[in-house]
Structure 1
């Protein structure tokens, strides 16, 4: 981030406005308002107190709740270890928030510390010190020069170069002497509970995204001591305003995803191995923002572009606008365009979409509709049989037309450059989901199975007709995109005692859960509630073994073997690769002639909300694009 050598005195005054006094049962220290409703202080100030009194602007807020405090030391050491941070929830209306800077200062960066101190027996008042950064010690930062008076513990430390609070005062090297001491860096907040951390940091980022805030106005004006017009030249780093706006946009986006994988994908190769835990999008920005790329697009722009590409339609519009504006301002538009159009970026998988819809007059009969979905996202209607027929007749009709439709996709003008096999997607009512679609043989070679030649998935017909709510479905699918399956998966064994209420409770507790694996068929065993509630709750992926429960409990249960093997096979698979991985497992099971392999009798319900058939209407079969 660009910044001046010195921060205006206005910012020092704004920092003073955010300093609070924290009074615990046994200790009195300082703290800083960092997000609406939250104070940051040192854990050794609050100790084991469940609540403390926070004093600000002459008012006392007793009973302020300590919602996080890092672990206390053992009786033997008595020294609070890293990160020595605590978060206190406060009920203070319309309070200001200090601007945070999660980066490590440069050697000899000038710092400015503030906090309450009872100095010279004149009563508690805000005091200050001006140390300089001097390296690290046990996770804490060492500083030289400056006296930290008693009571300043937990007070904010401003990096004068960047204009953001980077640490809290921890302790003096020698009480009463201006010999510096130790600081607790605020990046230690990543040791807190993920949900709490995201709530605090996203609240901070949304607050400072408002460019009318005095702190934001002053930092937006900071520039390096370089010639005028510097920011009209090609550059790799973000300005304070660009980063502030980016963090505000990211704070409004879904937080799910494998942030470490996104960091490694966007950053240098090989990726640094010593970065801190990444709990949210903003952490990726922190770690990437000051890494200078050898060539090509700056890492933060790469990250933003990849996040746009992985997001559901309409959820990343603000990020996309920021990306275009920032790339232009950084004189990186051509590189951004090249990156977005890179042939290395995987194309969308083509598919034949097949819908079987029960007749309104006779639910034992089905009408048939077939679309071809091209890699560009174009959806073309190919077959419409409005006259409902019994399932076996519809099956024979599919056998007649499917090879031709697959070939049509393979030879379409401007077809996909991908070498991925065409996907087959069946949109079905629940009662047909256990049909052996992947074992069908629509070719003359009776040994050639549909699910071995092509990734074959089933889908929930009701979601595409609006019969089920789609908000939860889209949200859960976003948590799967770019993430590893193991982090968003839950298993349901044949012998699990579940009903609809208990299953709903499990799903509500895991809002990011995107994959349910069942040990036996939900249409022929006790796992049925998992399918019912999973579909209703928007779980986009369900996997099960097409077999009834054998009634064997314990380690000999085939369903348990299936789930254990499946969990191992899918743990590190990225969500977007799941249909192809299931296709590979089916072929592995056939190649080994192993009926106990988890790829045998494997059903994959894969509901990607970005791949929907168009709304029904009369269309020309050659129409090239339909709104979905």
Structure 2
């Protein structure tokens, strides 16, 4: 019973109950702004424990009338209570929580002669989003919501973890509702940023985050700061931020640590001197990546030559652009050339060779952003130096889906979400796809769509077109496969299974940022392996789509 003491009611000072609330610190509770509309003071009760405790009402959202967003209020108790606050779910787990058919509990305080609380079971899913603010919730058969549930936590009944708060119910005849609205924690914290101090975030300790948030409190997000943000992360940022803290949180939770270091360094010039000094001190003490040569992976993010191939709709030709990517931003590039398919390799080899001089003394790799039908090309066999027969396999070589480089690409958005999850996880956790994979066509598509946590796929042999398309459409950011098909008469002990087991084991606990280096090492091992035996590094393709490495599209492609 002790695990549920954080559930509370809220009412006016003169008595009665208006709705629900839940304890998040020993002195603070969350509820809806509309529940305490017109009140500066309220009364709080923890059923069976403490009743009628005085509290101050602090409005922190944008809600003023029915239909408004930001329906949030904080209740501040005069004295701390001895009850454990609610456990809050991590923001990056909310999608998974609500997408696997789980049921959740809510607890309300409707008008009843016995004055007891009432409980209901609800379900929700990520697809039930409403105006990018709420998620629709539906009650179990025979249960309902009614007046008095507003402000209730929505919590996992097995773990007690809270994922959001009930704000509305669609009341029908008899003032009962089977449908309601939930404000997820990810949106509650937009309006009450102090909630970030309490969430189980991974990018810094709670103490360090609180210090940084307080340091940036009240700093508005302006256009000059937005420009610095885009330069720091190396791509356009479409999200609107209510504050500088919200933008810091965006970088910290979705990108490599070195991006956060770079962004914080640019913020200083937008702050008053006293805050600038405090921010510099915080970065020196709290961010190990501020020291040279450290990052969220085993080493700094490598520079790149990024080869972009766009198929032209006529003449069987391609637009070829060779970019460089240095220190998180676009470096020198070559003008786009339109060439027939038969000349693509020659033009690419010449372009990459010309760019190498800009990368001397750096750790660098080669990225081929190409159409889907070209993802299986043996690019590592192409030449860095054709005259001296030096192949590109001397460096890490990866492929990318060129469609994801387009600003209007749905695939790009899908991949961004999965990459954020992968980067936050910090390890690959590959999903093996055997050469005798039973799922076909739409079944494979549905399987990937249902598992939003799948980020790395490893194939036992070259994936057929339907599976490759399904993986790209679902935003899978990393895939590995040997291009050699599995042609054994039986799959009981076939080449594909041996390759799959070895490749899965090789990348299992690898940080996603280290995968190009791992693929390079496997290819080098394969050079020395017996040619008559399978090796997971032979004919290896690595699709590796880090959405932060996003060079500007050539002008010809923007038209």
Q: How does the TM-score come out when normalised to structure 1?
A: 0.52
Q: Is residue 599 of structure 1 aligned with residue 537 of structure 2?
A: yes
Alignment equivalent of 1:362, drawn from 307, 311, 315: 315
Cα offset, 1:574, TM superposition: 0.9
Distance 1:329 1:19 in 2: 47
Give the direction of change, closer, same or farther, for the CA distance of 1:553–1:368 in structure 2 (3 Å limit): same
Secondary structure at 1:568's aligned position in 2? helix
Q: Contact 2:234–2:329 (CA<8 Å) still a contact in 1? A: no
Distance 2:417 2:498 in 1: 31
Partner of 1:332: 278
Give the direction of change, closer, same or farther, for the CA distance of 1:19–1:35 in structure 2 (3 Å limit): farther
Q: Is residue 510 of structure 1 aligned with residue 451 of structure 2?
A: yes
Partner of 1:609: 547
Distance 1:496 1:385 in 2: 41
Give the direction of change, closer, same or farther, for the CA distance of 1:5–1:320 in structure 2 (3 Å limit): closer
Q: Contact 1:585–1:598 (CA<8 Å) still a contact in 2? A: yes
Unaligned runs of at least 5 residues, structure 2: 1-24, 30-38, 51-82, 89-103, 124-142, 166-181, 216-228, 250-263
Secondary structure at 1:382's aligned position in 2? coil
Cα offset, 1:475, TM superposition: 0.8
Q: Which has the larger radius of gyration?
A: 1
Worse overlay, 337-346 or 347-356: 337-346
Superposition pairs for residues 393-472 of structure 1, below 5 Å?
A: 393-410=343-360, 419-420=362-363, 422-443=364-385, 448-451=390-393, 453-465=394-406, 466=408, 468-472=410-414
Partner of 1:319: 246
Give the direction of change, closer, same or farther, for the CA distance of 1:311–1:444 in structure 2 (3 Å limit): closer
Secondary structure at 1:371's aligned position in 2? strand
1:3-46 deviation digits (Å, cap 9, x = unpaired): 99999xx999743077799xxxxxxxxx999699xxxxxxxxxx
Distance 2:368 2:106 in 1: 59
Alignment equivalent of 2:341, drawn from 374, 385, 390: 390
Secondary structure at 1:16's aligned position in 2? strand
Partner of 1:569: 506
Q: Contact 1:486–1:571 (CA<8 Å) still a contact in 2? A: yes
Distance 2:390 2:293 in 1: 32
Worse overlay, 56-65 or 476-485: 56-65
Cα offset, 1:541, TM superposition: 1.7
Cα offset, 1:533, TM superposition: 0.7
Worse overlay, 353-362 or 588-597: 588-597
Alignment equivalent of 1:350, drawn from 299, 303, 310: 303
Give the direction of change, closer, same or farther, for the CA distance of 1:303–1:498 in structure 2 (3 Å limit): farther
Cα offset, 1:56, TM superposition: 4.7
Q: Is residue 498 of structure 1 aligned with residue 498 of structure 2?
A: no
Give the direction of change, closer, same or farther, for the CA distance of 1:361–1:492 in structure 2 (3 Å limit): same
Q: How does the TM-score come out when normalised to structure 2?
A: 0.58
Cα offset, 1:573, TM superposition: 0.5
Partner of 1:535: 472
Give the direction of change, closer, same or farther, for the CA distance of 1:461–1:304 in structure 2 (3 Å limit): farther
Cα offset, 1:447, TM superposition: 6.5
Give the direction of change, closer, same or farther, for the CA distance of 1:370–1:32 in structure 2 (3 Å limit): closer
Q: Contact 1:205–1:244 (CA<8 Å) still a contact in 2? A: no
Structure 1 vs Structure 2 CA RMSD: 5.0
Worse overlay, 545-554 or 202-211: 202-211
Superposition pairs for residues 64-75 of structure 1, below 5 Å?
A: 64-65=120-121
Q: Contact 1:19–1:56 (CA<8 Å) still a contact in 2? A: no
Give the direction of change, closer, same or farther, for the CA distance of 1:336–1:381 in structure 2 (3 Å limit): same
Distance 1:345 1:617 in 2: 35
Secondary structure at 2:332's aligned position in 1? strand
Secondary structure at 2:479's aligned position in 1? strand
Unaligned runs of at least 5 residues, structure 1: 22-30, 37-49, 68-88, 101-185, 212-241, 248-281, 291-297, 412-418, 620-626
Partner of 2:200: 283
Secondary structure at 2:550's aligned position in 1? coil
Partner of 1:16: 45
Q: Contact 1:354–1:371 (CA<8 Å) still a contact in 2? A: yes
Q: Contact 2:110–2:147 (CA<8 Å) still a contact in 1? A: no
Distance 2:281 2:233 in 1: 19
Secondary structure at 1:192's aligned position in 2? coil
Q: Contact 2:109–2:148 (CA<8 Å) still a contact in 1? A: no
Distance 2:349 2:454 in 1: 36
Q: Contact 2:423–2:512 (CA<8 Å) still a contact in 1? A: yes
Q: Contact 1:285–1:300 (CA<8 Å) still a contact in 2? A: no
Distance 2:279 2:401 in 1: 41
